[in-house]
Amino acid sequence: MADDKDVLRDVWFGRIPTCFTLNPDEVTEREAEPYYLLLPRVSYLPLVTDKVKKHFLKVMRTEDVEEMWFEHEGTPLKWHYPIGVLFDFHASNTVLPWSITVHFKNFPDVDLLHCPTNSMVEAHFMSSIKEADALKHKSQVVNDMQKKDHKQLWMGLQNDKFDQFWAMNRKLMEYPTEEGGFRYIPFRIYQTTNDRPFIQRLFRPVSTEGNPHTLFDLLKEMCPDALTKDGEENRFQVVIHGIEPLLETPLQWLSEHLSHPDNFLHICIIPAPTD
Amino acid sequence: MPVSLLWAVDVHGRVYSLSSAGQQWELGRDAPMEFKRVTAAQQCCWSLGCDSSIYLNVFASDLPVRYKVETYENQRWNPVDGFSERLLPSDRWQWSDVTGLQHQPLHSFQLPSSSWEWEGDWYVDENFEGEPTEKEGWTYSIDFPSTYTKDKKWNSCVRRRRWIRYRRYKAMDTWAKIPSQPMSLPDPFSDISCGGWEISEEPGGRLSLWVVSLQGKVWFREGICHHNPEGSSWEEVPLPGEVVQISCGPGDLVWAVLWEGKLIVREGITRDCPRGLSWAVVECPSPEVGAIHVSVGNGVVWAVTKDNKVWFRRGVNSHNPCGSGWISMVGEMIMISVGLHDQVWAIGCEDRAVYFRQGVTSSELSGKTWRAISAPRDGERPHSSASSQQSAGRFFSGEVQAQSVVSDADSDVEKGSADGAIFTTPEPSLGSPTEPPSNPAVDAPKARIPKVTSDSFISELVSDRDQGKPSKDVLSVTPAVLEEEVIPADGEEILLCAGEALLSTESRGGPQWSNVDLEEAQTGAVLDLAETCSLSSVTTFTLTVEDGAEEHPMWAWVSGEGCSVDSSSQLNWFSSSANTTSVTQSVQSMSLSISPAQTAAWRRQIFEQLSERSRREMDDFKHYEQAIEQSVWVKKGAMQWWRDWKPHKWIDVQFAFEQFSGPDGNKDGILFIYYNYNEEKKYLHAFINEVTILVPVLNDSKHTFAIYTDERTKQRWPIRVAAATELEMYDWLALLSVSCCESRGIQGPPSKQAIWSITCKGDIFVSEPSPALEAVPYPTPCDQMFWRQVGGHLRMVECNSAGIVWGIGYDHTAWVYTGGYGGGFFQGLASSTDNIYTQTDVKSVYIYENQRWNPVSGYTSRGLPTDRYMWSNASGLRECTKTGTRPPSPHWTWISDWAVDYSVSGSTDREGWQYAADFPASFHGYKTMKDFVRRRRWARKCKLTTTGPWQEIPPIPLIDVTVLPCGAQSSVDTFPLWAISSKGDVLCRLGVSAQTPAGSSWLHVGTDQPFKSISIGAAGQVWAIARDGSAFHRGSVSPQNPAGDCWYHIPSPAKQKLKQVSVGRTSICAVDENGTNISSPSRRVVHRGFLNVPVCFGVFLAFLCPGNLWYRQGVTPSYPQGSSWDHVSNNVRKVSMGPLDQIWIIADKVQGSQSLSCGTVCHRLGVQPIEPKGQQWDYGIGGGWDHITVRGNAMEPPRIGLLSQKDTAPPTSSSPLPVGIAEPNGTAVYS
């Protein structure tokens, strides 16, 4: 792999093998077989689970069916997080395939947002892109786009069309060379040790002295606890798209190459596995 | 990409060329003298010698430059000698050209210059029209200006034969002086530029050559083409000032620099006029310091100002050759050369090195960085370099020259550089940022300044730089910036820009790198260490080492016009393998190895981990199903596409249509066109639900159709594709039409409200109006209307909102709409099964026979060389012979033979001739003393058979028809329908109702003179236009008296003849015939514009001349004739008034971003009761549209504003006349 473009492809075409099983408490007419699927890391659960729903509805009576939701080892999975983030955060060090339990009742209103249609996902996705561009370019790029350009981004994600998506997303990744990067890096840091869903603050890609900021600089400022102190064993893993980039990786590069389609860099800080 | 050459001249006047595949400059050894400037095309190179003459070097190729000269030997028979060269006094010369007008004996043919040689002697052409003749090539005829046959007959009085000789251009691959013209040019030349080969492919090898003389005049070389590489003559180009330098791009861009520093741009350069028409002045980038140099490419302009700053011109294209603004670029240059693919070379101001602009792509025309070309020069002392240097040199993409000797290479040097140091310091040392210039290595005579990093950084450095400032300061900045990008490099792993060269261990020794020959000239070398990645994520940093160790004379001029490289080309110009030498052992500017960012550990880590992730998460689970299924359905095919960039031409593409079910179950689709651009795969796409219309454009050579979206309608530039066969084209059209309709939820027949339109090909389209279409103040933009095709072939169509639709064919047959849909090429779901009938149409194709009078033989088909074709179309621009003219498309078949057409406007003589003084002039039907040319029109009928939802209404042929518009809920059951027969009689159709739209019988309405246009508006207002161009109003038309009682004459607007009228609810509009005179200047503009449009709507009908649109003022129920005509707009061909008084027209000459379009549907915005003439036009589909009718659209727009006004209070003073006046008329309409 010689080219940064290949990173974009690898990120886009990341797949998580998943085994969906029906929650045993659901009332079924006969036993439900588990359903196996390769989920795109960069997509969202409602966009890719039509088949799952169809599969389980075959064994259920319609009156027993409410809104479908997913749970992994007791944790409801938030559909508005990218699938890769859900996996990295909740199931990084578990055995593959990822095991997800499918529920059709007792929707956990406290934990999850309802998602009646995919247009909810679209609205969420587009608002994320707009938010990210507000950070990166004061919204200039996204506002200059036409409606069909926005649609191209969404359709690209929805239909898993890399070229279609990136033909447009490229524009969101541009910046004036003299500034050395975006205005602020759109990122979200997810921590297990924290009650807040995630950390998101303003952070520039280049220091006031003009040096590019690295992943290390970001973590030092946002969650110093996650960093390994001298002489200490690694307590945490810093995971982006299932990999652990070196802390010296420039943040601007990460933002351009390892952001999710919503243009945010989703960073999961999870406890290091104890062997 | 073929191998091509970059040309340059050094300060000693020696010419060098550098091959795009080579790595060293080749000296042009045979140059007869020193040259000042060169300008290259791909097939040749022009140069300006120090003697101020022009030299030409034509590159040898497989295709020799041969030119055939020919002359005719003419003989006449007489009873004494038989055939002899004794001719009659009125005859042509014994030796003449083919026309007989030129005397040309064999000895009159001279070689044009010493660069030519004869291939052989004269010989007789024994072939005649491809067949061998018997008797020495003679062909016989009755008399001279006639047709010849190879057979001698009893009445063959004259004969002639053709002599042929070939001459060949022999001065290939050598510099040949262009002979100066006898009328010699007044002063020596000072600049030269060639280009223009993309303007036209005919004749082959055509070039434009522009030169500047010392006096500041500009000359254009006429007649350069493949078989005449030297051109024929110099033509002076008038100027607004004194030019010092000129540049001509490969296309139609020509810019020049004036003496005072302003720039001028040539305008009006076209295929027909490669010299252009006029100059436009462009201000120089900075007012204080003028420009000294300019260079243009296909769509870019670069300039250099007197302070050596470099500027890039924004927004240049062939529609706007002047561009829109200057952008300051990095670098200081003395001249710039833009080559093919808009690549850029320049000569540096300080070091006089040749620089290549890297990263110039079609999307980033300004490129990224300057990089010095460091190829060695041929003819220099070969250095006995060790192989180690070769590899070392290859590693470094820059020429690194040491100034002085360092006794030993220390590893610090390399380490330092690896840390990102820029060792170019005032001190001769190399240093790392951590241990800066302290390293006392060498004595460099010149200060070296780190110059180039990413562009922004350069500019900072360049602007900061001043002579007195120690470059240390600069140094302190650089490492800071570079810090993150740089990691210690270990020699073995450094990847170079192309990622191919590895630093070999031997090269580590560094010392060998230095170049030893020391002279005072200084050169810069640029090292480009990191390739910019496509997302511009990685900063490119490039270092310049300016050192004085340069043995080469400096460069003076470079020409890349013929050099075919682009940003993706692999070039070997930047390595200095051959001339790095170890004659001296010194090291000095050592391995400047900032480790390329590509190899940074963090990046490697990411690459490796991603691969590892794929293995872990995907390899074992490949049998799992994918969550997102790819497109439900794909249809692919090979097509041709009229490409978007210049020069426009058909290129082969893959055409794919992907249809999928949207999330909500709606079918949606995307069209993809995959094409190659500069050998790079690219694609274009369009969402099916954004396609607004599909237009078949069939002609005899291509089966094409055009795809419009609203955006492309605005630009007047559809996606044009061509299928291999007609069947394939209709397959695609039918499929895409169905998909477009599906994605918009449209099915079945058009509604009663539908808007109908017709193209100049006779194709019929309908659009379903939305209520918002006529909304005030925010109507649906006209370019967003979706049009679908309905089968059949018509010239005009009229309808009303009760669903009564009548059409008239080209042969004047009347047709009534049957309520079906589809027909034509639509099959299956896209077409109704009943209500589709066979429809035929007949039209005439016209060609013109042109003749010129000469004193000897009177009128003959022998024109002047400047004349139009002797058989041509109406404009004379295209040759149309009887045999060569084909029916308009394969659907049409001839049904008659050619016959003289006497029914031309302006009358003819008995043989159909019309006379005029000269060709583009107005013709008249009788001969006068002043007439030197004449023409007559020939017509041939052709017939089309198709199917559509139309039924014929025999027997009377019609030229116009109109039906009463009505409100949406009308209680009327029979609708007055008026028509004009092809003889000009006014007719009224009885019994037309929604159930029987064809009506029952005609009622004749008497008139004093023939009529040509008629329209019936609300409340039975009938208006008509007579043949003399005046208007008439029919009084007392009512349901009880459907034919009315008498005509009231309404004078036409002053000096104008009206041609068409349309009546809405209360408004009446008419169009006049302004501009029918073909030779008027405005008319010419239209033609030129249209011809430039490659839309294949070839048939341009003469009767569709743009006129003015007039609004009838003062019409009230009590005074229905109104008071006066009010001018609304010009450029109008046709008007259609709707039942809500909407105004829609077919407009001429609408400017799009890409081209001018003629015949465009336009909608008048801001039409309100208080402002019935509206405010402005909104442009919709076009060009090539001939007819529109909105008379079915009675759908009231959502009247939010008006309603609330009505509800709350009577009209306030701000709108003195609004609803109140409209109401009485409104009610009258529906009564």
Q: pLDDT tens for residues B630-661?
A: 556 677 888 999 888 888 888 989 898 887 76
Nearest-CA distance from B499 to chain A in Å? 8
Nearest CA among B806, B818, B712, B815 for reference residue B1182: B712
pLDDT tens sequence across B841-878: 998 888 888 888 887 778 877 777 777 788 888 777 77
Structure-token pair, residue B507 = 């090269």
**Average pLDDT score over chain B:** 74
As to burial, measured by CB atoms within 10 angstroms (0-12 exposed, 13-18 middle, 19+ buried), residue B792 is buried
Which residues in chain A have their CB less than 8 angstroms from residue B685's CB?
164
CB pairs A-B closer than 8 Å: 158
Hey, what amino acid is at B439? Answer: N
| Residue partners of B365: CB distance under 8 A and separation at least 6 | B299, B300, B312, B342
In B573-612, the residues whose Cβ lies within 8 Å of chain A are: 598, 601-603, 605-607, 609-612
- Closest-CA residue of A relative to B625 is A37
DSSP secondary structure string for all residues of B724-777: SSHHHHHHHHHHHHHHHHHHTT--SSPPTT-EEEEETT--EEEEPPPGGGG-SS
Find tokens 């539908």 and name the residue: B754
Contact A96 B626 (CB under 8 A): no
Contact A212 B484 (CB under 8 A): yes
Contact B606, A7 (CB under 8 A): yes
Residues B569, B576: Cα–Cα separation, whole Å: 18
Residues B573, B21: Cα–Cα separation, whole Å: 9
| B605 → closest Cβ in A96, A117, A246 | A246
For residue B442, pLDDT over 60 is answered with no
Structure-token pair, residue B463 = 């602007």
For residue B385, pLDDT over 60 is answered with no
Contact B967, B1139 (CB under 8 A): yes
Q: What is the pLDDT, as a whole number, of residue B943?
A: 92
Q: With bands split at pLDDT 50, 70 and 90, how would you rate the model's confidence at B833?
A: low
Which residues in chain B have their CB less than 8 angstroms from residue A14's CB?
613-614, 617-618
B659–chain A Cβ distance below 8 A for any pair = no
Structure-token pair, residue B715 = 């630009």
Contact B376, B574 (CB under 8 A): no
Q: Cβ–Cβ contacts within 10 Å for residue A113, how many?
A: 10
Q: What is the pLDDT, as a whole number, of residue B1188?
A: 93
Contact A164 B602 (CB under 8 A): no
Contact B180, B49 (CB under 8 A): no
Does the predicted interface ipTM exceed a cut of 0.85?
A: yes
Selected residue with higher pLDDT from B796 and B316: B796
Residues B216, B241: Cα–Cα separation, whole Å: 8
| Residue partners of B1171: CB distance under 8 A and separation at least 6 | none
pLDDT tens sequence across B1165-1207: 888 888 888 888 888 888 788 899 999 888 887 765 444 444 4
Contact B612 A163 (CB under 8 A): no
B633–chain A Cβ distance below 8 A for any pair = no
For residue B1226, pLDDT over 60 is answered with no
Structure-token pair, residue B1071 = 């169009």
In B444-483, the residues whose Cβ lies within 8 Å of chain A are: 454-457, 459-460, 480-481, 483
Q: Cβ–Cβ contacts within 10 Å for residue B147, how many?
A: 7
Which residues in chain B have their CB less than 8 angstroms from residue A43's CB?
627-628
Residues B293, B284: Cα–Cα separation, whole Å: 11
B685–chain A Cβ distance below 8 A for any pair = yes
Q: Cβ–Cβ contacts within 10 Å for residue B701, how many?
A: 9
Contact B834, B749 (CB under 8 A): no
Hey, what amino acid is at B760? Answer: C
Hey, what amino acid is at B819? Answer: G
| Residue partners of B942: CB distance under 8 A and separation at least 6 | B842, B843, B844, B845, B887, B888, B892, B893, B894, B895
| Residue partners of B94: CB distance under 8 A and separation at least 6 | B73, B74, B75, B85, B87, B105
Which residues in chain B have their CB less than 8 angstroms from residue A40's CB?
627-628
Any idea what DSSP says for residue B689? G
Q: What is the pLDDT, as a whole number, of residue B226?
A: 84
Nearest CA among B511, B199, B572, B235 for reference residue B374: B572
Which residues in chain A have their CB less than 8 angstroms from residue B500's CB?
none
Find tokens 């925010």 and name the residue: B778
Residues B1064, B306: Cα–Cα separation, whole Å: 65
Q: With bands split at pLDDT 50, 70 and 90, how would you rate the model's confidence at B618?
A: confident
Contact B289, B261 (CB under 8 A): yes
Nearest-CA distance from A99 to chain B in Å? 13
* Consecutive H or E run containing B1071: strand B1068-1072
Nearest-CA distance from A29 to chain B in Å? 25
DSSP secondary structure string for all residues of B877-914: SSB--TTT---SSTTEEE-S--EEE---TT---TTSEE
Structure-token pair, residue B831 = 């077409």
B619–chain A Cβ distance below 8 A for any pair = no
Which of B328, B456, B484 to mutate to probe the A interface, most A CBs <10 Å? Answer: B484
For B1071, half-sphere exposure in the C-beta direction (CA atoms, 13 angstrom radius) is 29
For residue B93, pLDDT over 90 is answered with no
Q: What is the pLDDT, as a whole number, of residue B372?
A: 84
Hey, what amino acid is at B394? Answer: R
Hey, what amino acid is at B10? Answer: D
Cα dist. B965→B285, B972, B1203 in Å?
Answer: 60, 11, 24
In B530-569, the residues whose Cβ lies within 8 Å of chain A are: 533-539
In B885-944, the residues whose Cβ lies within 8 Å of chain A are: none
Question: Residue length, chain A?
Answer: 275
Nearest-CA distance from A74 to chain B in Å? 23
B364–chain A Cβ distance below 8 A for any pair = no
- Integer-rounded Cα radius of gyration of chain A: 20
Please state, for a pLDDT cut of 90, what percent of chain B lies above it: 10
Nearest-CA distance from B821 to chain A in Å? 31
| A38 → closest Cβ in B539, B602, B624 | B624
Structure-token pair, residue A59 = 């064994």
Contact B602 A246 (CB under 8 A): yes
Contact A2, A10 (CB under 8 A): no
Which residues in chain A have their CB less than 8 angstroms from residue B664's CB?
117-118
Contact B59, B172 (CB under 8 A): yes
Cα dist. B875→B625, B1076, B1139 in Å?
Answer: 65, 13, 39
- Closest-CA residue of B relative to A6 is B607
Q: Residue B1226: is the preceding peptide bond cis (ω within 30°)?
A: no
B259–chain A Cβ distance below 8 A for any pair = no
Three-state DSSP class for residue B118:
strand
Nearest CA among B1035, B1157, B1052 for reference residue B1096: B1157
Nearest-CA distance from B619 to chain A in Å? 10
Beta bridge partners of B546: B524
Nearest-CA distance from A30 to chain B in Å? 23
B704–chain A Cβ distance below 8 A for any pair = no
| A245 → closest Cβ in B606, B611, B621 | B606
Residues B135, B110: Cα–Cα separation, whole Å: 28
Beta bridge partners of B118: B167
Residues B1216, B1218: Cα–Cα separation, whole Å: 6
DSSP secondary structure string for all residues of B481-514: HHGGG--PPPGGG---TTS-----GGGGG-GGG-
For residue B1090, pLDDT over 60 is answered with no
| A38 → closest Cβ in B480, B611, B621 | B621
- Rounded to 10 degrees, the C-alpha dihedral B986/B992/B997/B1000 comes to -80
| B618 → closest Cβ in A7, A15, A117 | A15
Cα dist. A99→A54, A87, A92, A112 in Å?
Answer: 18, 10, 12, 19
Nearest CA among B356, B360, B346 for reference residue B20: B356
Which of B366, B463, B604, B621 to mutate to probe the A interface, most A CBs <10 Å? Answer: B621
| B625 → closest Cβ in A36, A176, A210 | A36
Contact B456 A163 (CB under 8 A): no
Per-residue pLDDT of chain A in tens (275 residues, 90 and over written 9): 446 777 888 899 899 999 999 988 888 788 888 999 999 999 999 988 888 888 888 888 888 788 899 999 888 999 999 999 999 999 888 888 899 999 988 889 888 888 888 889 999 999 999 999 999 999 988 898 888 889 889 988 988 888 778 888 888 988 887 788 899 999 999 988 777 788 889 999 988 888 889 999 999 888 888 787 766 777 888 999 999 998 888 999 999 999 999 999 999 998 888 76
Structure-token pair, residue B1002 = 């005609």
